[in-house]
Structure 1
Amino acid sequence: MRIRPFRYNPSPEISVIEYASTFCCFLILILVITTGNFECLSCNMGYLNSVLQSSSQVHAEYGPVSGGGLSQNGKFSYGYASSPGKRSSMEDFYETRIDGVDGEIVGLFGVFDGIFLYYFLYISPSLLHTCMQILILVICSNAVAVLEAISHGLLLAQDSTVVNCKFYAVAVHYILPMAVSGHGGARAAEYVKQNLFSNLIRHPKFISDTKSAIADAYNHTDSEFLKSENNQNRDAGSTASTAILVGDRLLVANVGDSRAVICRGGNVNVLHSYVIAPSPIRSVGVNLSAFAVSRDHKPDQSDERQRIEDAGGFVMWAGTWRVGGVLAVSRAFGDRLLKQYVVADPEIQEEKIDSSLEFLILASDGLWDVVSNEEAVAMVKPIQDPEQAAKRLMQEACQRGSADNITCVVVRFLANQGGSSHTVPA
């Protein structure tokens, strides 16, 4: 993440004194917005603090963790590893769960990456005056309505003229999330971790129509989270990449930019061609192929951009392509102010679990920002213990300088190792 420093740009129209007084008022407004939330703000600004001053407590509260297990029927084993990396806060969560549903042993695995925004601006005095006016309007009136108007690039001025403020909207969106989000990302990701799979396995069609059950569970969890946030003055969001193992089926569902990748060994001709990817990813080694079985949801993708614009939103460049100039993913849980455009509808991919399917990797973008799909598969391939494999990925991402939290889950399929097939009572 890039932090852009504040820079004073002299303007002939505005004196230094006017500039200084405006800036002081601006700081006071930010303090008013965050009254009673100073502690939360300081926690979530940890990454910023670590840039501005050195700190020896980066991992005082959070540290690397790992673990693993084996299914009761011996058909799969799993391991996980998670670390805050260079960040002083932790917005990544994971879930590894084995349940019995209608006599079937079911594996449920997920990586949830909380969305939290840090922003700085190059601010000129004229832009600062405009930001001040909009901030005052947000504080003194219906904030949601104002931000919705801003997201459409329009704002009704005091003289009843419509002002095109897309450019200024970026400044407002950059400032407000930083000031009022609190532990937004962690709160959302933890909620999804605690509720998504429980909602899923309680769905009446979980076994008979698993895909529709997953879609319903995603949207229901999103709706319930938004209801729970009604009394919050903060916005929060989370990605989710999940894998559901039911019988001989692997179903991967995804919203956001966490990712799922599988490895199939043997002859490349057995690889499925219906995976969600533009084309099969090149093989690693002679008898090894990597497939992305989820798609990163980015606002600049043609179909995602069209969906957002059809809903009345817009996508613009602000360091990267962002929904409304704010959010770098086009699908997520939460994100109430952008919910009309940032949906929690998952894309679902199904794979058959057979002897050619070797393992699955689920990971947050802290891994995928610095390690390619092919490299990840090549690292995991020789490591039979999935916990050690997950730790290897995590450590490699750290060594390559990943600036984000890093969470990895590895599931090894043991069908070709003679796992038993008994079931558990419902």
Structure 2
Amino acid sequence: MVCSSYLKTVILQAGKYIQKVTRGLGQFASLRRSPKTISAVRFSSDRIFPSFRKMMVDTGAATNRGMATNNSPEKLDDGGYASGGWKSEDGKLSSGYSSFRGKRASMEDFYDVKTCKINGQTVCLFGIFDGHGGSRAAEYLKENLFKNLMNHPEFLTNTRLAISETYQQTDSDFLESGKDTFRDDGSTASTAVLVGNHLYVANVGDSRTVISKAGKAIPLSEDHKPNRSDERKRIENAGGVVMWAGTWRVGGVLAMSRAFGNRMLKQFVVAEPEIQELELDEEFELLVLASDGLWDVVPNEDAVSLALLEEEPESAARKLTETAFSRGSADNITCIVVRLYHELETKPQPETQTQTQSDTEMEPQAQTEPKTEPETETEAETKTEAQTETEPEATSKAQTETEPEATSKAQTETEPEARTGPEGQTETVTKSGPTDG
């Protein structure tokens, strides 16, 4: 009896279990036939891999829009493009920036434009920061590099030293801020600091700054590439290695020899900047700072020529970004164009020149009178003759001056015939006046 009742209970429970399994199989079969299955699967994957799905959507959006817009990235409205401009209060300086995500899935470029007065001295700072392995390092530089530089105690007295120390200290601060993370991202930095008319250009990495002088492009920084002979020697002396992996790379990993961040390669990839300085004069026209997304496809000379064609620096920056994108740049593209308006200082001169020119044009009439004053006695002859043309004797004398007697009279004033008439005496006095002396 006990066995039979236990067996019956087991059979009933098994039957209920079989029913549940059958019902579940039926629901699964219906789901397979329903189009909602795809959305249900996507929904669950979004909860599990939300960042992955966002990355895929951004990649597709960037690719599709990039092909559709061709070389007009400014039409994008998803945050992949930004541009703007700035002008100094005195009107002597203006700048424009343009930044485009391009064909990359994410934006790792940052830029910064700052101006201030320190002890009455106008200071302008422009920077391009190109991140790699993530955007955190580039964003950190945008937020801290110039702030740290302006707080340096010797910023105005020894600007070159202040830049060098600030670069390396900011790199140390960034590495310290991320010591508890496993991230190993980094960033380049190409900056231009203008203190009065003195320009300091500092560079770490493969971003670049170029200046235009009388229409000629002059690079103010040299890219830090591992295959640069001096950089390769420095890396190898520190125990590193430079090898080919699609391009020359430090340790076969990083395609630049200097950068902020990059903790794992810090022994070889330093953040010590190379600095160039010069005094600006009227021959310098504009500056172009850009990430390698521009310089990979646009030579220095082309960048300067295109920028000079545009009246406003923002338009010039936009033009350079569009040109790099249309030429096939596969990277983020960011650039800053700085216009140097020296003519504003000499703007009154053209007006004064035109006034002096107009004055000189009028002066000959006024100057002919004093110039002719010494000659008035010489010209008095013609005037006196013109005045006495009404007199018959003067008229006959003017008509007979071609005769030998009149000629000898003009040449030899000592002859008695030349002195007989009172009118003749008047003529000899006029001719023998200051013109002879």
SS at match of 1:95: strand
Number of paired residues? 293
Quote how far apart the aligned CAs of 1:87 are: 1.5
Say whether the 8 Å CA contact 2:66–2:103 is kept in structure 1.
no
1:384 paired with 2:333, answer: no
Q: Which amino acid aligns with 1:329?
A: M
Q: Which residue of 1 aligns with 2:171?
A: 222
Contact conserved, 1:43 with 1:89, CA < 8 A, in 2?
Answer: no
Q: Give CA-to-partner distance per residue, 1:304-334, whole Å, 9 cap, x none.
A: 0011011111000000000000000000000
Per the alignment, residue 356 of structure 1 pairs with 283
Match of 2:89 in 1: 72
Aligned pair 1:199/2:148, yes or no? yes
Change beyond 3 A, Cα 1:386–1:336? same
Q: Which residue of 1 aligns with 2:236?
A: 309
Match of 2:364 in 1: none
Q: What SS is found at the alignment partner of 1:212?
A: helix
TM-score, scaled relative to structure 2 = 0.64
Check the 8 A contact 2:63/2:103 in 1, yes or no: no
1:405 aligns with 2:422: no
User: What is the aligned partner in structure 2 of residue 263 from structure 1?
Assistant: 212
Asked if residue 299 in structure 1 is aligned to residue 226 in structure 2, the reply is yes
The alignment partner of 2:289 has SS state of strand
How far the C-alpha of 1:359 sits from its partner, in A, is 0.3
CA distance in 2 between partners of 1:295 and 1:213 (Å): 20
Contact between 1:94 and 1:193, CA under 8 Å: does it hold in 2? yes
Bigger radius of gyration: 2
Q: CA RMSD in A?
A: 2.4
Query: Which protein, 1 or 2, shows the higher relative CO under an 8 Å CA cutoff with sep ≥ 6?
Result: 1
Give TM-score scaled by structure 1 length.
Answer: 0.65
Distance 1:226 1:61, change over 3 A: farther
CA distance in 1, matches of 2:66, 2:302: 32
Q: For 1:114, which of 131, 139, 152 is the aligned residue? A: 131
Unaligned ranges ≥5, structure 1? 1-35, 117-183, 266-287, 421-426
Quick check: which one's helix share is greater? 2
1:324–1:60: structure 2 CA closer, same or farther, 3 Å change rule? farther
Aligned pairs for 1:235-250 (under 5 A) are 235-250=184-199
SS in 1 for 2:91: coil
Q: What residue in structure 2 maps to residue 86 of structure 1?
A: 103
CA contact (8 A) 1:96 1:109 kept: yes
Aligned to 2:293: 366
Q: CA deviation at 1:41?
A: 6.2
Partner of 1:212: 161
Q: Is the 8 A contact 2:208 2:291 kept in 1?
A: yes
Q: Indicate how the Cα distance of structure 1 residues 64 and 72 shifts in structure 2: closer, same or farther if over 3 A, else same.
A: same
Return the offset for 1:37: 11
Letter in 2 for 1:212: L
Shift of 1:64: 1.3
CA distance 1:205–1:401, change in 2 (3 Å): same
1:39, distance to aligned residue in structure 2 (A): 5.1
Give the direction of change, closer, same or farther, for the CA distance of 1:61–1:373 in structure 2 (3 Å limit): same
**Matched residue, 1:99:** 116
Q: Indicate the SS of the match to 1:381.
A: helix
SS at 2:309's partner residue? Answer: coil
- Structure 2: tracts of 5 or more residues without a match: 1-46, 68-75, 348-437
Q: In 2, distance between residues paired with 1:55 and 1:361?
A: 30
User: Which residue of structure 1 lines up, in the alignment, with residue 322 of structure 2?
Assistant: 395
| Secondary structure of the structure 1 residue equivalent to 2:147 | helix
For 2:198 and 2:110, locate their aligned partners in 1 and report how far apart those are by CA, in whole Å. 25
Q: How far apart, CA to CA, are the structure 1 residues paired with 2:277 and 2:55?
A: 37
| Contact 2:80–2:107, Cα closer than 8 Å, also in 1 | no
What SS is found at the alignment partner of 1:377?
helix
C-alpha distance in 1 between matches for 2:63 and 2:341 = 46
